Amino acid sequence: MKTKLKKEDVMKKMKWFVLVSAVLFVLPLSVVAREVTPIVSHLWLEKNLANPKVVIVDIRSEADYKGGHIPNAVHVPYDKWAITKNDLKNEFPEENDLYALIGSSGIKSDSIVVVAGKTDSTTDLVNATRVAKTLIYAGISNVAVLSGGQNKWAADKKPLSTEMMKPKAVPYKGNLNKDIVATKEYVSSQLGKSIFLDARLPEFFFGISKTGDVAKFGRLPGALPLPSAWIFTDGMYKFKEELEPIAFGAAGKDLSKEIILFCDTGRLSTGWWYVLREVLGYKNVKSYDASLQEWSKDPNAPMVRYSWQ
């Protein structure tokens, strides 16, 4: 026997449906799809070592890996995930090569991937976010980085293994997330429109110093400084409550505005790219992967020096 719903009951159900749909719509896709927080602790990882969905990717050198690693971690060094292509450093592998790399690492589309590396320097720290970005670019939703990396794991006397793990290869085919990447042409079209953030230290932003990867001193016009070094304290990620006001000071509080990050070679900028998009919920964050190593070679590409504005 069917029960006839009262008009007010139908209206209540409709209002509830609309409310839930609206909430899901405004949440970032990365938040909706995630089964793991973007940054995980050593306590979380230790509890999930036996979880068959978890794939720990150790991105250190082979010598470091052989010297002791987190149990069950597979060794896929950083330079497999970020390659030199057309004389540009830290580029994505070609699509088929990237899919083959992910599959050979035992990573499935629904895997929970934890990236673990060293934390000796800011470069080591952002190596993890660069690899995380590559995985997200390839269509993996559940990506996390290990706060404190291998350094804290060992310092806390967590279990170590010297076994060379041989992952079981699986077929992988994803959909490239091209919306997170800004090309030189796109950057040029967005100058003066989008929010540009320079992830390098202030002396590089101001134009006092430069690396050998960059042809000219300075930065993109209209950019603000937001160094990725400020994300970390003693190799650990700052708490969200600390990161949020730092981000607001440069990126603003409007989570819908387009933000484009850059640095010298596209590696350092992934630190704030990852934090803004995955941790703080900014919805439209890109990074200019080729960054100033490409931009500065063009004599017609504008750069600003000796100015904070």
Q: How far apart are CA 168 and CA 75, in angstroms?
A: 13
pLDDT of 134: 98
- C-alpha pair distances (Å), 93 with each of 40, 45, 180: 26, 28, 15
Digit-coded pLDDT (tens) for 117-164: 999 999 999 999 999 999 999 999 999 999 999 999 999 999 999 999
Same domain, 164 and 37: yes
List Cβ neighbours of 213 (8 Å cut-off, separation of 6 or more).
89, 264, 265, 292, 293
pTM assigned to the model? 0.89
The answer as to whether 261 is a domain residue is: yes
Same domain, 94 and 200: no
Helices (H), the chain: 7-26, 29-33, 42-47, 62-66, 78-81, 95-104, 122-137, 149-155, 184-190, 202-206, 240-251, 270-274, 291-295
Same domain, 65 and 124: yes
Same domain, 45 and 161: yes
CATH value at residue 259: 3.40.250.10
Q: Taking Cα atoms as reference points, which of 300, 279, 20, 40 lies closest to residue 185? A: 300
Average pLDDT of the segment spanning 161-190: 96
Digit-coded pLDDT (tens) for 197-226: 999 999 999 999 999 999 999 999 999 999
Q: Please compute, for residue 184, the number of CA atoms within 13 A of its CA located in the half-sphere on the CB side.
A: 14
List Cβ neighbours of 57 (8 Å cut-off, separation of 6 or more).
73, 74, 76, 105, 107, 113, 114, 115, 116, 131
Q: Taking Cα atoms as reference points, which of 122, 271, 130 lies closest to residue 199? A: 271
Same domain, 63 and 162: yes
- CA angle 233/59/167 to nearest 5° reads 135
Digit-coded pLDDT (tens) for 19-51: 333 333 333 333 446 899 999 999 999 999 999
Domain range for 291 is 181-295
Same domain, 117 and 226: no
pLDDT of 78: 98
Residue 200 near residue 306, CB atoms below 8 Å:
no
